[in-house]
């Protein structure tokens, strides 16, 4: 936090004390008195295409739909653990992890070695042939689930969107029902069925979609009609789900899907008690329950390996991606043997699902999570960050809500605590200021007023202090 003598003064009046040995003076010259933790790594000098050439190539040959963060975009060319480096050698603390994808750290030596070793032997066949790595990884992955859940059959695919598409098809084929329910404000992908499951207008195109998909009231204890102060909030949101089924379906559904904590929607936690009630309602109407663990899985919430465990429920199908491969194009659907048999009635095949290199990386990720106590670190460091953010909430009225678990955290900025008017401009300002001081965070929420804090889970307590210092100064500059 700001020292007592610094509070209330112009940031430019503060004398810089530097950013560590391996960082260019670009940051320190801006005049911010905040010190980045020491880090014993210096990236090789970048000798590739210039920033201007790279930008021009992107504009000319890549889709204009691509987003670029920041008014002055940065070109990242190196990464090591929780840090990223631009083409000029400037170091940044990565608090967004490639959109919640880098789970155990950029270029983690164990994961990198597993990829190189496997690539030197065999880069690709398909699952029409036997290969030991795929089965070994599947077994390792299945063992992370509670034994009583019977979630032990794995189907490998390439992305979270694809995993959710497959889960929907599997539920429909198994139940014989068609209607599917997801939550408003949820994000489940941008292809086929997954785009229909997504319920954020900012991600939807004016094309035919959502056939057979219904979106129930989001159990958001901050922005929703039933607040966290209401002990019956979860049950009230569940009533809306039941009412939707009774009035907008044949009375039977194929399934229900929900993120354990909504990611792109702004790190929204589900109201207490809702998920258990929802699962009971769905099963009573013939459907299966799907947990989307694309962002919350692999120990990120700290208290449990899987986000759904924090709600005391057991899904019928679990989808996962992102952190599973630390950046590799890898995803999976895990279900019970009974449900899995559904796909054997016809041919279902995925060319790249179960690729040996991706699976070797995924297996190494599980080893690192276990050996380096990554989940515990997510809990410990995440608790420090969340406590610090709550302290900042007391200091800055623009902070409306601090939420999340472990290293799956979010901060919503509002102009009014009663109307919850989104503080869009203020969020953009803090976002930019943090970057200027060497910290990269994400943005999210339907109104773009939520800061998403989801770093590689190797982030340290020293990094947490640095991050909170930067947030303090960024908010103070509003």
- φ/ψ (deg, to 5) at 201: -60, -25
Tokens standing for residue 138: 């599947």
Residue listed under structure tokens 């009231």 = 217
pLDDT of residue 360: 98
Q: Give CA–CA dist 205/163, Å, rounded.
A: 21
pLDDT of residue 5: 30
Query: CA angle 318-100-47, nearest 5°?
Result: 135
Give span(s): CATH 3.90.1150.10, the chain: 48-100+374-476
- Among 62, 93, 67, 1, smallest CA distance to 387 is for 1
Q: What is the pLDDT of residues 175-231, one digit of tens each?
A: 999 999 999 999 999 988 899 999 999 999 998 888 999 999 999 999 999 999 999
- φ/ψ (deg, to 5) at 68: -130, 125
Position 361 pLDDT exceeds 90: yes
Q: Give CA–CA dist 353/332, Å, rounded.
A: 8
Reduced 3-state DSSP string for the chain: CCCCCCCCCCHHHCCCCCCCCCCCCCCHHHCCCCCCCCCCCCCCCCCCCCHHHHHHHHHHHCCCCCCCCCCCCCCEEEEEECEEEECCCCEEEECCHHHHCCCCCECCHHHHHHHHHHHHHCCCCCCCCCCHHHHHHHHHHHCCCCHHHCCCEEEEECCHHHHHHHHHHHHHHHHCCCCEEEECCCCCCCCHHHHHHCCCHHHCCCCCCCCCEEEECCCCCCCCCCCCCCCCHHHHHHHHHHHHHHHHCCCCCCEEEEECEECCCCCEECCCCHHHHHHHHHHHCCCEEEEECCCCCCCCCCCCCCHHHHHCCCCCEEEECHHHCCCCCCEEEEECHHHHHHHHHCCCCCCCCCCHHHHHHHHHHHHHHHHCCHHHHHHHHHHHHHHHHHHHHHHCCCEEEEEEECCEEEEEEECCCCCCCECHHHHHHHHHHHHHCCEECEEECCCCCEEEECCCCCCCHHHHHHHHHHHHHHHHCC
pLDDT mean over 407-436: 97
Q: What is the pLDDT of residues 35-44, one digit of tens each?
A: 899 999 999 9
- Rg from Cα positions in the chain: 23
pLDDT of residue 352: 94
Q: Give CA–CA dist 364/125, Å, rounded.
A: 20
What is the pLDDT of the chain when averaged over all its residues?
93
Q: What is the pLDDT of residues 292-351, one digit of tens each?
A: 999 999 999 999 999 999 999 999 999 999 999 999 999 999 999 999 999 999 988 899
Give span(s): CATH 3.40.640.10, the chain: 109-371
Percent of the chain with pLDDT over 90: 90
How far from 124 is each of 118, 121, 127, 321, 361, CA to CA, in Å? Answer: 10, 10, 10, 20, 14
pLDDT of residue 208: 87
pTM above 0.85, yes or no: yes
Can you name the residues that pair with 412 across neighbouring β-strands? 401, 450
Q: Does domain 109-371 have CATH number 3.40.640.10?
A: yes
Tokens standing for residue 92: 């940044």
Burial class, 131, CB count within 10 angstroms (exposed 0-12 / middle 13-18 / buried 19+):
middle
By the 8 A CB rule, do 248 and 282 touch? Answer: no
pLDDT of residue 31: 43
pLDDT of residue 6: 31
Q: What is the pLDDT of residues 240-296, one digit of tens each?
A: 999 999 999 999 999 999 999 999 999 999 999 999 999 999 999 999 999 999 999
Tokens standing for residue 268: 């929204």
Position 105 pLDDT exceeds 60: yes
Tokens standing for residue 468: 């909170």
pLDDT of residue 14: 29
pLDDT of residue 7: 30
pLDDT of residue 8: 33
Q: 175-207 as b/e, with b when 16 or more CB fall inside 10 Å?
A: bebebbbbbbbbbbbeeebbbbbbbbeeeeeee
Instruction: Look at phi and psi of residue 229 and say left if phi exceeds 0, alpha if psi is from -120 to 50, else beta.
Output: alpha
Q: How many CA atoms lie within 13 A of 257 on its CB side?
A: 37
| Of the options 3.90.1150.10, 3.40.50.150, 3.40.50.720, 1.20.1740.10, the CATH number for the domain spanning 48-100+374-476 | 3.90.1150.10
- Helices 356-371 and 374-395 sit at what angle, rounded to 10 degrees? 70
């Amino acid at each position: 936090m700001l020292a007592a003598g610094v509070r209330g003064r112009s940031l430019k009046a503060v004398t810089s004390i530097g950013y560590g040995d391996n960082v260019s003076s670009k940051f320190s010259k801006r005049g911010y008195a905040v010190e980045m933790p020491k880090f014993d790594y210096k990236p090789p000098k970048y000798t590739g295409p210039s920033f201007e050439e790279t930008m021009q190539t992107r504009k000319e040959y890549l889709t204009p739909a691509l987003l670029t963060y920041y008014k002055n975009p940065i070109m990242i060319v190196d990464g090591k653990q929780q840090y990223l480096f631009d083409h000029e050698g400037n170091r940044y603390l990565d608090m967004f992890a490639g959109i919640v994808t880098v789970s155990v750290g950029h270029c983690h030596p164990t994961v990198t070695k597993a990829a190189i070793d496997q690539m030197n032997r065999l880069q690709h066949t398909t699952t029409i042939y036997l290969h030991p790595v795929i089965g070994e990884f599947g077994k390792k992955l299945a063992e992370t689930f509670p034994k009583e859940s019977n979630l032990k059959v794995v189907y490998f695919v390439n992305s979270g969107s694809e995993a959710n598409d497959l889960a929907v098809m599997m539920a429909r084929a198994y139940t014989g029902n068609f209607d599917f329910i997801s939550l408003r404000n949820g994000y489940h992908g941008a292809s086929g069925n997954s785009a229909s499951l997504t319920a954020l207008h900012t991600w939807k195109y004016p094309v035919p979609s959502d056939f057979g998909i219904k979106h129930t009231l989001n159990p958001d204890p901050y922005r929703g009609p039933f607040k966290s102060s209401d002990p019956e909030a979860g049950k009230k949101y569940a009533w809306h789900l039941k009412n939707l089924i009774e009035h907008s379906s044949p009375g039977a559904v194929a399934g229900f899907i929900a993120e354990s904590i909504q990611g792109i929607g702004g790190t929204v936690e589900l109201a207490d008690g809702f998920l258990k009630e929802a699962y009971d309602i769905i099963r009573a109407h013939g459907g299966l329950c799907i947990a989307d663990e694309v962002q919350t899985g692999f120990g990120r919430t700290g208290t449990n390996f899987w986000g759904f465990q924090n709600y005391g429920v057991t899904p019928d199908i679990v989808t996962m991606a992102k952190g599973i491969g630390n950046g590799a194009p890898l995803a999976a659907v895990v279900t019970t043997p009974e449900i899995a048999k559904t796909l054997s009635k016809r041919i279902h095949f995925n060319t790249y699902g179960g690729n040996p290199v991706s699976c070797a990386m995924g297996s190494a990720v599980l080893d690192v999570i276990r050996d380096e106590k990554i989940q515990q670190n997510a809990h410990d460091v995440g608790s420090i960050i969340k406590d610090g953010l709550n302290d900042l909430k007391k200091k800055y009225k623009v902070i409306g809500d601090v939420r999340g678990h472990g290293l799956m955290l979010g901060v919503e900025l509002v102009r009014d605590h009663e109307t919850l008017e989104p503080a869009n401009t203020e969020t953009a300002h803090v976002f930019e200021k943090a970057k200027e001081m060497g910290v990269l965070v994400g943005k999210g929420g339907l109104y773009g007023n939520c800061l998403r804090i989801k770093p590689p889970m190797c982030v340290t307590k020293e990094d947490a202090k640095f991050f909170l210092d930067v947030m303090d100064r960024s908010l103070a500059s509003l």
